[in-house]
Homo-oligomer: A and B are copies of this chain.
Amino acid sequence: MFHTPQDHVPSTSPKWREARHTAAPAAFQSAALVRHWHREQEICEEEGINGYWYCVISGAVRKCIVQTNGRRRIVDLLLPGDFFGFAERDEHAFTVQAVTDDTILACYSRSRIEQLCDKDPSAAREMRQRAFATISRLQEQLLVVGSMTAIEKVRAFLVHMARRIPEGSEDGIVLPISRYDIADHLGISVETVSRAITELQESGSISLQGPRRFRFVWPAANA
């Protein structure tokens, strides 16, 4: 029931410096502590109330919870530009892990950011915008996860990923997570994920290049 894979993801190209400038807010640059994590490494959240906020600069992060029935649920999947750490105060004990090697995060001491926001209204505005972006992202995930059939869930997930992940140099979008992660993210079984992807491919909706790289086929000529 536990899916804790050690997947081999094509590690991110050396454009993390560029990503840093686009992903992390400039208003907090003075308060940022940039660290990087390797695959499956846990992002420390043991700071308690005076903890940290994070912004993904490159790589990917997943926020998991293991339920009493033993099933792992991936509540959130963080990509470059996404903030997290806002809601750690509630009773859920989330496990936050880096998904890919060379996951780089900007870490912000909560108290320092609070002070910065108190002094600088533009920083406070930036903070609000990031929080609102998180709300938008979670609402979209609710639409994805709440789809009725498995194919709808997977298709919506891929559409969501295609919007969030910038297309690389070669065409196609590279999924940052494994089939197991997708399953635990959507609340369906791994086999169903695999079958749904196969069916989307055979129906001409998507094209696959390896299990991780896909493209949407919009004209759908040969379908």
Q: Which of B128, B134, B143 contacts A117 (CB 8 A)?
A: B128
Q: In the complex, A121 Cα to B121 Cα: how many Å?
A: 8
Residues of A120-152 at the interface with B, using a CB-CB cut-off of 8 Å, are 121, 124-125, 127-128, 131-132, 134-136, 138-143, 145-148
- Which residue of B has the minimal Cβ distance to A131? B131
| A187 neighbours in B (Cβ, 8 Å) | 145-148
Q: Assess whether B87 is in contact with A146, with CB atoms less than 8 Å apart.
A: no
Q: Which of B71, B132, B148 contacts A148 (CB 8 A)?
A: B71
State how many angstroms separate the Cβ of A100 from the closest Cβ of chain B.
22
Interface string of A79-110 (1 = CB under 8 A from B): 00000001101101000000000000000000
| A186 neighbours in B (Cβ, 8 Å) | 146
A188 within 8 A of B: yes
A39 within 8 A of B: no
| A167 neighbours in B (Cβ, 8 Å) | none
| A139 neighbours in B (Cβ, 8 Å) | 75-76, 87, 90, 92, 138
Q: Which of B75, B121, B128, B142 contacts A75 (CB 8 A)?
A: B142
| A20 neighbours in B (Cβ, 8 Å) | none
| A114 neighbours in B (Cβ, 8 Å) | 125
| A127 neighbours in B (Cβ, 8 Å) | 128
A162 within 8 A of B: no
Binding site for B on A (CB under 8 A): 65, 71, 73, 75-76, 86-87, 89-90, 92, 114, 117-119, 121, 124-125, 127-128, 131-132, 134-136, 138-143, 145-148, 185-188
Q: Shortest 10 CB-CB distances between A and B: which pairs?
A: A146-B187, A131-B131, A138-B138, A118-B121, A87-B136, A124-B124, A87-B135, A86-B132, A145-B146, A86-B135
